[in-house]
Structure 1
Amino acid sequence: MDTGSHLLMGATLAGLAFIDPAVAAHPQLAQTILFASLLGSHAPDLDAVARIKSYSSYIRNHRGITHSLPALFIWPALVSLIMGLIFGTLDQFAHLYFWSFVAVTLHVLLDLFNAYGVQCFRPLSKKWFHLDVLSIYEPFFFVIHLTGLALWIMTSLNPVPIFIAVYLLTFLYILVRSVHHSIVVKRVHLKMNQVGIYHVIPSLHWFRWQFVFESDSFFYTGKVDYKKVVVVDIYHKDRANPVIEATMGTDGVRAFLHFTQHIHVYFTKKTDGYEVNWRDMRFWHNHKLPFGVDVQLDENLNVVGQSMGWSKKTWEAPYV
Structure 2
Amino acid sequence: MDSITQAVLGAALQGTVLGRIQGRRSLLYGAALATLPDLDVVIRYADPVSQMTYHRGFSHSIFVLTGLALLLAWLVAWVGQRRWPDRGYRWPRLFVAFWLVLVTHPLLDAFTVYGTQLFWPLPFTPESWAAVFIIDPIYTVPLLVAVIYAAWRGLSGRAIPLMAAALLFSTAYLGFGLAGRMAVEQRFHEALGRQGVVVDHVRAVPMAFNSLVWRVLAKTADGHYYEGVSSVFDREPPEMQRLSLNLVAAKVLEGVALHERLRWFTDDWLRYDVVGDVLVVTDLRMGIPGNYTFRFRMAHRDSQGQWVVDTPANWSDGAAMFNGHDLGLIWRRILQQQPPLPLAAWTTRYLNPSPQSEVGR
CA distance in 2, matches of 1:13, 1:171: 12
Displacement after TM superposition at 1:255 (Å): 4.4
Letter in 2 for 1:183: A
Using the TM superposition, name which of 68-77 and 139-148 deviates more: 68-77
Letter in 1 for 2:313: S
1:186 is matched with: 186
Displacement after TM superposition at 1:6 (Å): 0.2
Per the alignment, in what secondary structure is the counterpart of residue 134 of structure 1? coil
Per the alignment, in what secondary structure is the counterpart of residue 114 of structure 1? coil
1:69 is matched with: 62
Contact 1:111 1:118 in 2 (8 A): yes
Using structure 1 for the length normalisation, give the TM-score.
0.81
Using the TM superposition, name which of 173-182 and 31-40 deviates more: 31-40
Displacement after TM superposition at 1:215 (Å): 0.9
1:131 is matched with: 129
CA distance in 1, matches of 2:28, 2:284: 39
1:3 is matched with: 3
Asked whether 1:89 is paired with 2:92, we answer no
1:230 is matched with: 238
Deviations 1:275-313 (A, max 9, x none): 111111222414334422113331232346641367664
Using structure 2 for the length normalisation, give the TM-score.
0.73
Letter in 1 for 2:245: K
Residues 287 and 266 from structure 1, CA distance in 2 versus in 1: closer, same or farther, beyond 3 angstroms? closer
CA distance in 2, matches of 1:306, 1:281: 17
Displacement after TM superposition at 1:207 (Å): 2.3
CA distance in 1, matches of 2:121, 2:308: 36
1:56 is matched with: 49
When the two chains are superposed, the root-mean-square deviation of aligned CA atoms in Å is 3.0
Aligned residues: 303
Per the alignment, in what secondary structure is the counterpart of residue 162 of structure 1? helix
2:172 is matched with: 172
Letter in 2 for 1:190: E
Per the alignment, in what secondary structure is the counterpart of residue 96 of structure 1? helix
Contact 1:64 1:119 in 2 (8 A): yes
2:205 is matched with: 201
- Percent identity, aligned pairs only, is 19
Letter in 2 for 1:293: F
1:154 is matched with: 152
Contact 2:133 2:211 in 1 (8 A): no
Displacement after TM superposition at 1:76 (Å): 2.0
Residues 251 and 292 from structure 1, CA distance in 2 versus in 1: closer, same or farther, beyond 3 angstroms? farther
CA distance in 1, matches of 2:73, 2:46: 29
Task: Point out where structure 1 has 5 or more consecutive residues left out of the alignment.
Answer: none
CA distance in 1, matches of 2:247, 2:230: 30
Residues 153 and 40 from structure 1, CA distance in 2 versus in 1: closer, same or farther, beyond 3 angstroms? closer
CA distance in 1, matches of 2:121, 2:258: 24
1:302 is matched with: 308
Residues 90 and 52 from structure 1, CA distance in 2 versus in 1: closer, same or farther, beyond 3 angstroms? farther
Contact 2:15 2:26 in 1 (8 A): no
Per the alignment, in what secondary structure is the counterpart of residue 281 of structure 2? strand
Contact 1:292 1:310 in 2 (8 A): yes
Mapping 1:249-260, distance limit 5 Å: 253-260=259-266
Asked whether 1:219 is paired with 2:217, we answer no
Task: Point out where structure 2 has 5 or more consecutive residues left out of the alignment.
Answer: 83-88, 328-361
Per the alignment, in what secondary structure is the counterpart of residue 302 of structure 1? strand
CA distance in 2, matches of 1:80, 1:35: 17
2:140 is matched with: 142
Per the alignment, in what secondary structure is the counterpart of residue 282 of structure 1? coil
CA distance in 1, matches of 2:314, 2:254: 14
Letter in 1 for 2:120: R
CA distance in 2, matches of 1:305, 1:129: 26
CA distance in 1, matches of 2:256, 2:10: 39
Deviations 1:249-296 (A, max 9, x none): 66753542342221211324x4xxx21111112224143344221133
CA distance in 1, matches of 2:170, 2:63: 26
Contact 2:133 2:210 in 1 (8 A): no
CA distance in 1, matches of 2:159, 2:138: 20
Per the alignment, in what secondary structure is the counterpart of residue 225 of structure 2? strand
